[in-house]
Amino acid sequence: MARIVIVSNRVPIPKARVAVAGGLAVALRDLLVPGTLWFGWSGRLAADPAPQPALVEARGVTYATIDLAADAHRALYVGFANGALWPVLHFRLGLMHYRREDWLGYLAVNHTFASSLRQMLRADDTVWAHDYHLLPLGRLLRRQGFGGPLGFFLHVPFVPPSVLEAIPVARELVADLCAYDVVGFQTEEHARDFRDCAQRLLGAVVDGEWLWLNGRRLRAFADPIGIDARAFAGEAARAVHDKLVQRVADSLSGRALAIGVDRMDYSKGLPNRFEAYGRLLERHPAHRRRIHFLQICPRSREEVDAYRKLRVELDRLTGRINGRFSEFDWTPLRYSTRAAPRATLAGLYRIGRIGLVTPLRDGMNLVAKEFVAAQPDDDPGVLVLSRFAGAARELSEALIVNPFDPDAIADAMHAALTMPVEERRERQAVLKAKVFRTSAAAYCRRFMDALAAQAPRAVAA
C-alpha cells in the first residue's frame, strides 16, 4: 500500500504512552498506522532553522518537523494566514489586513515546507495537506517534480467569488488549490463556492464536483468531518466521576448549566452569545438564579490585534452581565480562559442542559457533535446551534439560530429551558442517530477513496 503523508502547520507529536490529543490528531487517527509520515512546523522558532526535518517515531508513525525563523513565522501565521486569509474565509472583510510582504512570506514558508518535505517523499506516496496555512504547498511540490496523488482539505469555510476577490491574491489562491487532485470541504456550500471561484476567476469548466482546468481534471467535494461518537459518549459517561466535573456539578446546586466551549476567536460569536444571555435574564427574570452559563474559552492567536481586542471585549461584557445580574450567592456567568482536558469537557457537556454553539461562521464545529454524543438519553440537554456552522447542515433538530441576533439566541435558550422532556428526548434521538452515523474514520476513508479514484485520471489527462 502507498505510504500516506499528512502535512499540516501544527504537528501533534504524541508524548510517550499518552493517547493522541484532540483536533486533527483525533480526526486522522485512522491514518496513523505504521509507516505514515506526518510533516509540518515543530512549533519552535529558531534564529537559523535547519532545512532538514527533525524526526520523531511514535507507534510506527514518523513525525517530521522543521523550525521556523521568527520573521517567517510572523509572515505566515500572524500576517497572511490569520491576519488576511482567516478573516476573509470567515466573511470578515473589515478585519482583513493584507500586506504584500506577508503574502510573499507565506509563499516563502510554503516553499521551505515543500523543499524540506520533497527530500523525504517517495514516488508512490500519497500526500494529504491540511488547512489554510498550506494552500500553495501542492503546486510547489508539483513544481519540484512530485507526481503522486495530492489532496487538500480545508477545515474552515470557503466564500463566494464576490467575497474572495477582496483579497488581492484571490486568483493565485484559487489556482494553488486547483493544483491538488482532490480538494475537500466541510459542506457542499463551501465546495460550491470554491468551484464558483475557480470558474469565475480562472475560467475553469465545472461539471458537478469536477473542474477542468488547463487540460487537468480535479475534484472539489464536501466531506463533512465526524467524531468517534461511541468513544466520546463513553468518555462523557465516565467523566461525570472526574473530580472537576463533580465539583462543577455540585456548585450548580440544582441549577441548569448552559455551556459554551470555543477557542477565543471572533468567528465564534462570543460577544453576541454573552449579550444574548444578558437578554435572556432581562426578558425572562424567572430564569435568574436558576441557570449558570459557563463559557470556556482558551486564549488564542494573541499576536493578532483582533484577538487581543476580543479578549478585552469579553472581559468587559462578563463584568457588565455579572455586575448587573449577580446576587450575593449567585454569579450568572462563569468565564474561563483556561483550557480543559478533553475528558473533562466530555463530562461538562454531559451535565449541560444547554449547549451553546453560536459561531458567526464555522467550517464544521465539532463541539456541536460532541455535545450531542455526550448527552444522556433519558434527560437530555438541548443544543442551540448557529445556522452558519457547518454542523447545522446535518444537525437540523437542534434549535437553529441566526447568531447575529442576540434576541433569537435568548429565545432559543428560553425554549431550551422550558422544553418538555419528551420533546428533548425526540430531538436528541434523531441528533444522536445522525452523530453516530458519521465518524472521523469515514471522513478519512471518503477522502482517501476520492484521492485514489481521481489521481490516475489527473495524470492521464
Residues labelled catalytic: 155, 362
Please, what is the minimum distance in Å from the beta carbon of residue 156 to ligand F6P?
Answer: 5
Q: C-alpha grid cell for residue 312? A: 478585552
Instruction: Check binding of 139 to ligand F6P (CB under 6 A).
Output: no
- By beta-carbon proximity to ligand F6P, the closer residue of 360 and 455 is 360
155 is a contact residue toward ligand F6P (CB under 6 A): yes
Type and span of the H or E element at 30: none
Name the residue nearer to ligand F6P (CB basis): 151 or 381: 151
102 binds ligand F6P (CB under 6 A): no
Q: Answer for the pair 125, 64: CB distance below 8 angstroms, yes or no.
A: no
Decide: is 370 part of the binding site for ligand F6P (CB under 6 A). no
156 binds ligand F6P (CB under 6 A): yes
Q: Is 118 in the site for ligand F6P (CB under 6 A)?
A: no
Residue 300 C-beta: closest distance to ligand F6P, Å: 6
CB neighbourhood size of 244 (10 A): 14
Contacts of 398 (CB under 8 A, 6+ apart): 368, 372, 382, 383, 384, 385, 392, 427, 431
Q: Which of residues 15-54 bind ligand F6P (CB under 6 A)?
A: 23-24
Smallest distance, ligand F6P to C-beta of residue 80, A: 13
In the complex with ligand F6P, the residue whose CB is nearer, 167 or 245, is: 167
Q: Which of 219, 268, 287, 301 binds ligand F6P (CB under 6 A)?
A: 301
Query: In what order do the strands lie in the sheet containing 182-185?
Result: 54-58, 61-68, 37-45, 4-10, 126-130, 150-153, 182-185, 216-222, 210-213, 205-207
The site for ligand F6P, by CB under 6 A, has a size of: 8
Least separation in angstroms between residue 269's CB and ligand F6P is 14
Distances from the Cα of 196 to the Cα of 222, 238, 243, angstroms: 14, 46, 51
81 vs 150, beta carbon nearer ligand F6P: 81
Q: How far is the CB of 390 from ligand F6P (least distance, A)?
A: 11
**Pairing relation of β-strands 210-213 and 205-207?**
antiparallel
Nearest Cα residue to 244 out of 318, 166, 340:
340
Site for ligand F6P in 263-292 (CB under 6 A): none
What is the spatial distance between Cα 205 and Cα 186, in angstroms, rounded to a whole number? 22
Which residue, 83 or 278, has its beta carbon nearer to ligand F6P? Answer: 83
Q: How far is the CB of 130 from ligand F6P (least distance, A)?
A: 7
Q: Which is nearer to ligand F6P, 300 or 402 (CB)?
A: 300
- End-to-end CA gap in the chain: 24
The CA–CA distances, whole Å, from 335 to 97, 243, 245, 258, 270 equal: 29, 19, 16, 12, 11
DSSP assignment string, 385-396:
EETTBGGGGT-T
Binding site for ligand F6P (CB under 6 A): 10, 23-24, 131, 155-156, 300-301
